[in-house]
Structure 1
Amino acid sequence: MAAVGRSSAAAATSLNSSALFRRSLPLPPSQLSFRRPRFSVNAACPLFSDNNNNNNNNSLSQNGVVNPKPSPLELLKTSAADRYTKEKSSIMCIGLNIHSAPVEMREKLAIPEAQWPLIIEELCALNHIEEAAVLSTCNRMEIYVVALSQHRGVKEVTDWMSKISGISVPELREHQVLLSNADATQHLFEVAAGLDSLVLGEGQILAQVKQVVKAGQGVPGFDRKISGLFKQAISVGKRVRTETNISSGSVSVSSAAVELAQMKLQDASLADAEVLVVGAGKMGKLVIKHLASKGCRRMVVVNRTADKVNAIQQELKDVEIVFRPISEMLACATEADVIFTSTASESPLFSKENVQRLPLVSHGRRRIFVDISIPRNVEPGVSDLETALVFNVDDLKEVVAANKEDRIQKAAEAREIILDELNKFEAWKDSLETVPTIKKFRAYVERIRASEMEKCLSKMGQDVSKEQKEAIYALSMGIVNKVLHGPMQHLRCDGNNDNSLSEVLENMRALNRMYDLETEISLMEEKIKVKIGRVKK
C-alpha cells in the first residue's frame, strides 16, 4: 500500500516520459532494435531540458569530446530498464464492493458483461497495464490487472474509474479495495469460494467468475497471468464447495430478497400477495423459484421476450407464471403488492413520478419494491413516497445475518483450502520467471551449435551427401539436448514447496550471470514493444 501513496509527481514524470517515448518512434514496433542501455539518467539530467539554445543533438563531455545526445526513446528505455527490473510486474485488485462502498457508488461503475472485452483492451492501452480482467456483479466491480509498476498502475486505473463513473478520485480512494500480489490472489479465491459475498457461501458468484474467463477468451490483454489467476480461482471455488459443503442450505441474493419481502409483509404472506417480477435473467429466475418455494402459486413476470419465461414455466408447471412484455410493466404494477426487479437496464424503470401515480395497495399497506439490480431499477426518490417501501441489495444484510452463524465453521475450513491453493498459484506465478531464461539459454546454445556445424560442413567441402549432413545435424542436436537436460531440469518448478522454488530461481539467476543472458532487460524490452504496439494501433 505504501507504493500507492507516493507523490503524484513521480507518476506524472513517468507518463510524460511515456508520451515522449511514443512521439519519438521513427519505425513501427516490428522494426525496432533494442540494445542494452550503457548509461544511467537521473531526474536532474539536463537532457530533459528544452531551455537549450543549441539545437544540435550532440553534447560536449568535460574533455571537449562530442558525444551523441540520447533520444527520448533511449532515455525512457534506460529509466524503464532500471524501474521495471527493480519493481517487477504485480497482480493488482482495484475496485469497489458491497463491504467497502454503498450501492449509490457501485452502480456508477457497473459494467455490463457484453462490454468486458472492450474494457480489457481499454485498460491494457494504459501505459503501465499489461493484462486485465473485469468482475462486475450486483455486489462488486473489481478490476484485476498485471501492472508494470504498482503505484503507476493504481493511479492509471483509478483515474480511468473516475473518468467513466464521474466519481472524484479522492472519493474513490476513500471506498476503494486495493490489493496486490498474494493479497489480491487470496481475495479473488475467497470471492470465488463465496467467502466475500453478502451471503456467505453463495454459489452464483462462481458462475460469474467463470463468465470472466469465457468473456476474456481471445481478448488481447487477457493473457497468461490473469487467465491463470481466474482459472485457478474457479478450481478453488469448486474445491471449497465439494470439500466443505459451504453452499448447502445457504441463501443466495435472490432468496434473501424473497425472505426480506416476506418479513416486510408482516401479517400477510407471499402466497396471498399479488407479485410482479421484472426481469427473467439468472437473478430473476432464482427469485421466481424462491417465490414458488414460499408458496406463491401465481405471479406476473415482465420481460423483453417470452422465451426465458416460457422456459421457467416448463420447470415450474405447478405455478401460474403470466408473461407480460416490458411495455405493460406499469400496467402490471398497478395490481401488484410486491415488485421484484432484476434487469440489466442502465436507467431506472420505476421513477418517483410514475410510482406516485399507481393506485394504493389493498388493505392500506405500502407497495413493496425489492430491487436487486445494479444499476438500480427503482429510482432512489421512490423511497420518499408514503405509499412505497423500497429495498436494494444493501438492505439484505439483516436477512443474511440470521443465516450466517451456522456456516462460520465451514468458512474456516474453506480458508485452509484457499491457503493451500494460494501457495500453489504463487509458486506457479514465480516459476514463470524462469521461462524467458529457458528460451534465452536454448537460443544461446542453438546459436553455438548452428555456427559450429556450419564451420564443420565448410571444412568438409562440397562432397558431403544429404545423409551425412543429416547425421551431423542429428549428432549436434543430440549433444545439445544432453547438455541442456540438466540445466532445464533445474529450471523447472513443480510448486510443491518453497525450497524447490527458491532453488529454481537461484539457478535462473546463476545462468543469467554465467552466460550474460540479460533476461530481465530483454523481458522489459518485450513489454515495451507490446505497449508501443498497442499505442500505435
Structure 2
Amino acid sequence: MAAASGLAASFAVTKAELLVRSSSWAKFGVGPRPRVGFRVRIQRGPRCEAAGTDLEEKITARASSVSALEQFKVSGTDRYMKERSSIAVIGLSVHTTPVEMREKLAVPEAQWPRTIGELCNLNHIEEAAVLSTCNRMEIYVVALSWHRGIREVTEWMAKTSGIPVSELREHLFMLRDSDAIRHLFEVSAGLDSLVLGEGQILAQVKQVVRVGQGSGGLGKNIDRLFKDAITAGKLVRSETNISSGAVSVSSAAVELALMKLPHTHSLFARMLVIGAGKMGKLVIKHLVAKGCRKVVVVNRSTEKVDAIREELKDVEIIYKPLDDMLSSASEADVIFTSTASETPLFFKENVESLPPVGEAVGGVRFFLDISVPRNVGSCVSELKSARVFNVDDLKEVVEANKEDRQRKAMEAQAIISKELKRFEAWRDSLETVPTIKKLRSYADRIKVAELEKCYQKIGDEALTKKMKRAIEDLSNGILNKLLHGPLQHLRCDGSDSRTLDETLENMHALNRMFSLGTDKSIIEQKIKAKVEKAQN
C-alpha cells in the first residue's frame, strides 16, 4: 500500500499490523467491504503527571514548531506537500473498544469547542469536529498532510487521555476520505450503532453541528460533511423504515432488564432511574411502553422530573433528591443509571450494605449502567447479590429481526452511496476555485504591466482621464473575453453536460500551462502560517 510506505519513518506501520475493524455489519451478516485501521506505532516515553513545568512545556512546543518549520523549508521536494488535504476520522468504537478505554477518552459536550480549538492548533490540522457519545469517541479532521496530521491527532489523544500509545493503538481505527465520509453517513443513519437504526445518534450528529456553529469551530468541509450526513441519516430512516422496531441504548437497557427478570414478575419489579436527562427520560418512556406504572427518579433537581411527570400523566413518577440515592436504591429491584458524573455513584461497599431483594424477582438486584464514564464501579460485579450491565452488554438485545434488518441495511447502503457521491462532487468542485482566482490574478498582473508600458510610450501628459478610461475598458474587455472560455470550463455547476472529471482535467491543464501551482502553494501557505503562529 502506497500510503503505508509513507508512514514508515514516523509510524513504523507494517503490513502485519493492519487491524480489520469490526462493525455493525459483522453482527448482521452484511458486509459491503471490511474497514481497515492502521495500528500506529509511536515511540513515546512514560507519562508522569508530576513531572514537567510550564517552561519545559513551552520549550517542547517550540522545539516541535522548529521541527515543523524545518519540514516546511524542504517541502519543495517533500512528497507530502504534493498531496491533497484529506478528510479523516480517528476514533474508538463500541465494536472494537471496551468501555474502560472509551470512558477515558470521552469528551463532554461542554468541552467540544475547546477540543476543536486544540486540534485546529496542530500544525497539519485545518478543521476538526468531535463526536463523543456513550458508544463512540470519534475525531473528524481535515488534514493538510494525512501522515503528519494523523500522527499529531494520535499524540494529542494519548496526551489528553493518559493512555499509552502502545495500548491506544490496539483499539484505534482510522479512515480516510471516501471511507471516512461513508463511515459518518453510516453512523448518522444508525448503521454503525450497537442497535441498528437507533435514532438517538442522528440527534447527536445534529448537536455536533449546533455546538460547532455556536463556537465558530467548524470549517467549510466539516460543516458540509456533517450536514450531508444528517441528510443521509434522515433519508435512510424515511425511505427504508429501518428505525421501526429498532431501539436506542435506553430502550435496549429496558429490554435487557425485562429479559433477565423472571417473566411473571418483570412488570412488578421496583424500578429506579438515576438521572433525568435525555437518556433517563428515554428509559422512563420505554419502561412505561412496556407496561410499568410506577418509577422512582433520583435527580439533582426536580424541574426535569416535573416535566417528565407532566408528559406522562398516567404514570406514577416519584422524585427523590440525590442525597436519597442510597435509600432509594435499597428499595429498588432494578436500577438504571444515566448521569454525567465522572466518578462512580455506586461502589462495592455501597451495594453490599443494601438490603437483599425478594426471591420473586430472582433474589438479585440489577444495575443497568448506560453512562460513559460508568456510574457503577466494576467492583460491584464481584457481589453475588448484584448483577451489573453496561453499554457493552446490550448486544443481546439486538439479535431480533435480523433478516429484516439485513434487507433494510442493504437498501440504506444504496442511499448512502448516492449521498456520498454528492458530497465528493461538491468537495472536488472546490478544487477549481483557487485555480480560477490564480488565473484571474495572473491575467490582471499582465494587464497592469502592459498598461504601464502603454502609458509610458504615449506619455501621461498626452492622455486625458477619458482616454485612460477607454484604454482600460478596452483591456478589460479583451481580458474578460479571453478568460471567459477557460473559466467556463473550470465551473461544474450542473448547467451543462460537462462531467466533474472533465472539469478537473481542465484545471490541471491550466495549472500546467500557466504555472499556477495552485495545490502546492495553498497547502504551503496554510502550513507556514500554522508553524509561524506556533512559534510566536
Q: What band does the TM-score fall into relative to the shorter chain? A: 0.7 to 0.9
Mapped partners of 2:157, 2:496: distance in 1? 39
Alpha carbons of structure 1 residues 239 and 21: separation in structure 2 relative to 1, 3 Å: same
Displacement after TM superposition at 1:443 (Å): 1.3
Pairing of 1:108-507 with structure 2 (within 5 A) = 108-217=104-213, 219=215, 222-363=218-359, 365-453=363-451, 459=458, 461=460, 473-494=472-493, 500-507=499-506
Corresponding letter in the other structure for 2:404: D
Alpha carbons of structure 1 residues 2 and 509: separation in structure 2 relative to 1, 3 Å: closer
Displacement after TM superposition at 1:508 (Å): 1.1
> Structure 2: any 5+ residue segments left out of the alignment?
13-41, 45-58
Q: RMSD across aligned C-alpha pairs, in angstroms?
A: 3.0
User: C-alpha offsets along residues 21-64 of structure 1, whole Å, 9 cap, x if unaligned?
Assistant: 8449xxxxxxxxxxxxxxxxxxxxxxxxxxxxxxxxxxxxxxxx
**SS, match of residue 107 in structure 2:** coil
User: C-alpha offsets along residues 270-314 of structure 1, whole Å, 9 cap, x if unaligned?
Assistant: 431211111111111111111111111111111222222222112
Displacement after TM superposition at 1:185 (Å): 0.9
**SS, match of residue 175 in structure 1:** coil
**SS, match of residue 499 in structure 2:** helix
Q: Which stretch shifts more, 249-258 or 170-179?
A: 170-179
Corresponding letter in the other structure for 2:481: K
Partner of 1:522: 521
Alpha carbons of structure 1 residues 416 and 75: separation in structure 2 relative to 1, 3 Å: closer
Corresponding letter in the other structure for 1:258: V
> Structure 1: any 5+ residue segments left out of the alignment?
25-71
Number of residues of Structure 1 aligned to a counterpart in Structure 2 = 489
Displacement after TM superposition at 1:469 (Å): 5.7
Q: Which stretch shifts more, 273-282 or 472-481?
A: 472-481
**SS, match of residue 78 in structure 2:** helix
Kindly indicate whether the alpha-carbon contact (under 8 Å) linking 1:278 and 1:301 is maintained by their aligned counterparts in 2. yes
Mapped partners of 2:141, 2:131: distance in 1? 11
Displacement after TM superposition at 1:237 (Å): 0.7
Partner of 1:513: 512
Q: Which stretch shifts more, 281-290 or 447-456?
A: 447-456
Displacement after TM superposition at 1:110 (Å): 0.9
User: C-alpha offsets along residues 231-289 of structure 1, whole Å, 9 cap, x if unaligned?
Assistant: 11111111111211111222111111111111111144443121111111111111111
Alpha carbons of structure 1 residues 460 and 310: separation in structure 2 relative to 1, 3 Å: farther
**SS, match of residue 343 in structure 1:** coil
Displacement after TM superposition at 1:73 (Å): 5.1
Mapped partners of 2:476, 2:64: distance in 1? 42
1:531 equivalent in alignment to 2:527: no
User: C-alpha offsets along residues 52-100 of structure 1, whole Å, 9 cap, x if unaligned?
Assistant: xxxxxxxxxxxxxxxxxxxx95773233663334332222111110111
Mapped partners of 1:270, 1:498: distance in 2? 64
Mapped partners of 1:260, 1:478: distance in 2? 74
Kindly indicate whether the alpha-carbon contact (under 8 Å) linking 1:121 and 1:219 is maintained by their aligned counterparts in 2. no
Corresponding letter in the other structure for 2:236: V
Alpha carbons of structure 1 residues 325 and 456: separation in structure 2 relative to 1, 3 Å: farther
Displacement after TM superposition at 1:6 (Å): 5.7
Q: Which ranges of 4 or more aligned residues in structure 1 deviate by more than 6 Å?
A: 15-18, 463-468, 495-499
Kindly indicate whether the alpha-carbon contact (under 8 Å) linking 1:262 and 1:269 is maintained by their aligned counterparts in 2. no
**SS, match of residue 79 in structure 1:** coil
Alpha carbons of structure 1 residues 155 and 5: separation in structure 2 relative to 1, 3 Å: farther
Kindly indicate whether the alpha-carbon contact (under 8 Å) linking 2:81 and 2:524 is maintained by their aligned counterparts in 1. no
Corresponding letter in the other structure for 1:427: A
Mapped partners of 2:2, 2:514: distance in 1? 36
Corresponding letter in the other structure for 2:440: R
Displacement after TM superposition at 1:373 (Å): 0.8
TM-score by length of 1: 0.83
Alpha carbons of structure 1 residues 110 and 288: separation in structure 2 relative to 1, 3 Å: same
**SS, match of residue 281 in structure 2:** helix
Displacement after TM superposition at 1:375 (Å): 0.9
Kindly indicate whether the alpha-carbon contact (under 8 Å) linking 1:428 and 1:495 is maintained by their aligned counterparts in 2. no
User: C-alpha offsets along residues 324-375 of structure 1, whole Å, 9 cap, x if unaligned?
Assistant: 2222211211111111111111111111121111111133621111011111
Mapped partners of 1:496, 1:153: distance in 2? 37
Kindly indicate whether the alpha-carbon contact (under 8 Å) linking 2:490 and 2:504 is maintained by their aligned counterparts in 1. yes
Mapped partners of 1:193, 1:473: distance in 2? 56
Alpha carbons of structure 1 residues 462 and 235: separation in structure 2 relative to 1, 3 Å: farther
Alpha carbons of structure 1 residues 487 and 330: separation in structure 2 relative to 1, 3 Å: same
Mapped partners of 1:123, 1:348: distance in 2? 29
Pairing of 1:23-62 with structure 2 (within 5 A) = 23=66
Alpha carbons of structure 1 residues 329 and 8: separation in structure 2 relative to 1, 3 Å: farther
Corresponding letter in the other structure for 2:391: V
Kindly indicate whether the alpha-carbon contact (under 8 Å) linking 2:195 and 2:247 is maintained by their aligned counterparts in 1. yes
**SS, match of residue 99 in structure 1:** coil
Which protein has greater RCO, CA pairs closer than 8 Å, 6+ apart? Answer: 2
Q: Which stretch shifts more, 78-87 or 327-336?
A: 78-87
Q: Which stretch shifts more, 450-459 or 328-337?
A: 450-459
Kindly indicate whether the alpha-carbon contact (under 8 Å) linking 1:18 and 1:76 is maintained by their aligned counterparts in 2. no
**SS, match of residue 280 in structure 1:** coil
Alpha carbons of structure 1 residues 484 and 401: separation in structure 2 relative to 1, 3 Å: same
Kindly indicate whether the alpha-carbon contact (under 8 Å) linking 2:102 and 2:137 is maintained by their aligned counterparts in 1. yes
